Amino acid sequence: MTALVGQDFLTLADISPEDLQGLLTLAAQLKSGAVQADCSRKVLGLLFRKASTRTRVSFSVAMVQLGGQVLDLQVNLIQVSRGEPICDTARVLSGYLDALAIRTYDQSELEEFAQYADIPIINALTDQSHPCQILADLLTVQECLGQLAGTTLAYLGDGNNMAHSLMLGCALAGVNIRVATPADYAPDVTVVKQAQALAGDRCQIQVTTDPKAAVAGANILYTDVWASMGQEDFAESRIPIFQPYQVNSDLLALAEKEAIVLHCLPAHRGEEITEAVIEGPQSQVWQQAENRMHAQKALLASLLGGVTAGVK
């Protein structure tokens, strides 16, 4: 995994299919204990402008388990909250930290940090992309189904950062993906084209407004909240628009018999997913959530050069 040492991780388009499979292999081996990694004396900074449970805790625990330390840079307590330019903050933090995970609104802020920082900048979520979540998702699919290439994932709901990153991740992994959204909530066309170009002949990237067509014969059903952070004022008005895209028993019945159900969480039960499905036997949501830690441990070890035994 030396190819990723010192790199930024802003979007899945930053890595190759081989890099992705290497990260997933390393994550599985770190999870099982087959491979060891050491990031002692390394410090990861967390700069989060958005609320977080899984991302904050999983990054923190992953870094501690690698032997490193975590510094939580509370935005309201540092000078960026008072208007210090990002270019200044990025260069200063580069002198203190070994990597910086940023959770913010605009992808451009992340890119500006990466431009001026001399340490790896990690996308811990933006409005455009959530690549770390996809590492955990694909690890979960690999564990549950035994393979990635040739499987089909149906994503139902808003064409948001999760839809964008899933398309890119599936393109790299050879997973067919069907994204079903209401007509006015489709994913960014530029990202769709980027994913299709990355996919090549490996798999198909499709966008539709028909949830039943998307789910038919799929191996994985995936959903996310209908109103992301910052869109709470529109949550109620979106419910009737998105209701046909709810992951429920009727839609699940159209999928492949042994299909698994994923959700990046937090979930609004009774909206994008029903209680019966998220708590049902086909739900792998909790394994998926745990895998955030294992996938990010692999990412940190790779970016910081902490792998102490070869990936087998």
pLDDT confidence of residue 2: 59
> Same structural domain for residues 53 and 163?
no
Range of the structural domain that residue 34 is part of: 2-129+293-303
Strand partners, 45: 71, 100
pLDDT confidence of residue 122: 98
CATH number where 23 lies? 3.40.50.1370
130 is catalytic: yes
292 is catalytic: yes
Catalytic residue among 130, 164, 178, 294: 130
Would the pTM count as exceeding 0.85?
Answer: yes
**CA dist 49 to 43, 109, 114, 231, Å?**
20, 11, 17, 15
Phi, psi of 278 (to 5 degrees): -70, -25
> Same structural domain for residues 103 and 173?
no
> Same structural domain for residues 114 and 26?
yes
Catalytic residue among 264, 284, 288, 294: 264
Strand partners, 100: 45, 121
Q: How far apart are CA 59 and CA 97, in angstroms?
A: 15
> Same structural domain for residues 28 and 106?
yes
> Same structural domain for residues 115 and 147?
no
pLDDT confidence of residue 77: 80
pLDDT confidence of residue 310: 54
pLDDT confidence of residue 115: 98
Contact 120, 8 (CB under 8 A): yes
Helix (H) or strand (E) holding 46: strand 43-48
pLDDT confidence of residue 83: 82
> Same structural domain for residues 27 and 72?
yes
Catalytic residue among 21, 29, 133, 288: 133
Average pLDDT for runs of 10 along the chain of length 312: 86 97 97 96 97 97 98 87 89 98 97 98 98 98 98 98 98 98 98 98 98 98 89 85 98 98 98 98 98 98 86 48
Q: How far apart are CA 213 and CA 233, in angstroms?
A: 30
Catalytic residue among 49, 54, 56, 103: 103
> Same structural domain for residues 35 and 151?
no
Contact 94, 117 (CB under 8 A): yes
On whether residue 312 sits in a domain, the answer given is: no
Q: How far apart are CA 46 and CA 99, in angstroms?
A: 9
> Same structural domain for residues 152 and 270?
yes
Q: How far apart are CA 172 and CA 198, in angstroms?
A: 7
Which residues are within 8 A (CB) of 167 and not within 5 positions of it... i.e. 6 or more apart?
177, 179, 187, 191, 192, 195, 205
> Same structural domain for residues 105 and 38?
yes
- The per-residue pLDDT for range 69-80, each reduced to its tens digit, is 999 998 888 888
> Same structural domain for residues 231 and 183?
yes
Catalytic residue among 224, 263, 284, 296: 224
| Number of domains forming the structure of the chain | 2
> Same structural domain for residues 94 and 117?
yes
- The per-residue pLDDT for range 39-56, each reduced to its tens digit, is 999 999 999 999 999 999
> Same structural domain for residues 280 and 183?
yes
Q: How far apart are CA 186 and CA 192, in angstroms?
A: 10
Contact 166, 199 (CB under 8 A): no
Contact 73, 62 (CB under 8 A): no
